[in-house]
Structure 1
């Protein structure tokens, strides 16, 4: 299925047939493609690049398709990587984190910092964090495959 090119998001680079590799949903996903293109919210004279996940209901392209500015996609990648790093050592804590120091890291970006922390406002955090950790463990092979691919590409780019 071809990603539509005549809608407000103007795809430039696409990954079609994404449903074949969509993690646990592979071969049974409504996410039919990914694209990088010109954002649908562009104002006249102002161009932003966005990433989009294209979802298809079986009858039409879904309103639940998500479009994110490219920097947010990268910020999510940073958040994921820092989270994975935390959970690789989380077994050291009784509750998989230190309740007295819930901030995992502060990552410098644009003259400030993105704070990565355990959500202690979640009243069921001690239960939810165990489920979260188990899900990370269950998906370790799939996540690792993608991180290795990303690492190789970043190294090839000089990062």
Structure 2
């Protein structure tokens, strides 16, 4: 499924093959993709980054609000962390990514891999990726505090 780019959520980083690695629902999931993008409530003054789970069911269509199974929360965490790692080194690219190879990574899960890529379907990706990167930078302290807490807890759990 191609993640929509014409809605209020402006995707910048996407996993469009998510249904193949979605926990026990892998290969028959209604969760078709994950994305990180600019928030739907943003304006030119305040830019924030949000996550979206893109679902499709014949009854209700896309964009539903949902309770998230815990594995999906962790998959979103993987997407956030891998995206943040990408943006630490993105200054090397004129457009903050390689347009010839927009795939950032493939994270192995359940015998397949969750693709992490820049959303080249977004017509405003050059502007949106810069705003996304700036929002990550503006929230670095806030995110860093949470990532350090997560790291400590994962170490305590033996991971």
- TM-score (norm. length: structure 1): 0.59
How far apart are residue 66 of structure 1 and its match? 4.1
Q: Which residue of 2 aligns with 1:108?
A: 108
Name 1:95's counterpart in structure 2. 95
Q: Does 1:140 align with 2:140?
A: yes
Q: Once the 2 structures are TM-superposed, how far is the Cα of residue 65 of structure 1 from its aligned partner?
A: 6.8
Unaligned stretches of 5+ in structure 1? 1-63
Which residue in the other structure is 2:51 paired with?
A: none
**DSSP 3-state at the match of 1:122:** coil
Match of 2:156 in 1: 156
TM-score (norm 2): 0.59
Shift of 1:70: 0.7
Shift in CA distance, 66/126, structure 1 to aligned 2, threshold 3 Å: same
Runs of 4+ in 1 over 2 A off after TM superposition: none
Larger radius of gyration: 1
- How many residues in Structure 1 have an aligned counterpart in Structure 2? 96
Q: Which residue of 2 aligns with 1:85?
A: 85
**Which stretches in structure 2 are left out of the alignment for 5+ residues?**
1-63
Cα separation, partners in 2 of 1:65 and 1:123, compared to 1, 3 Å: closer
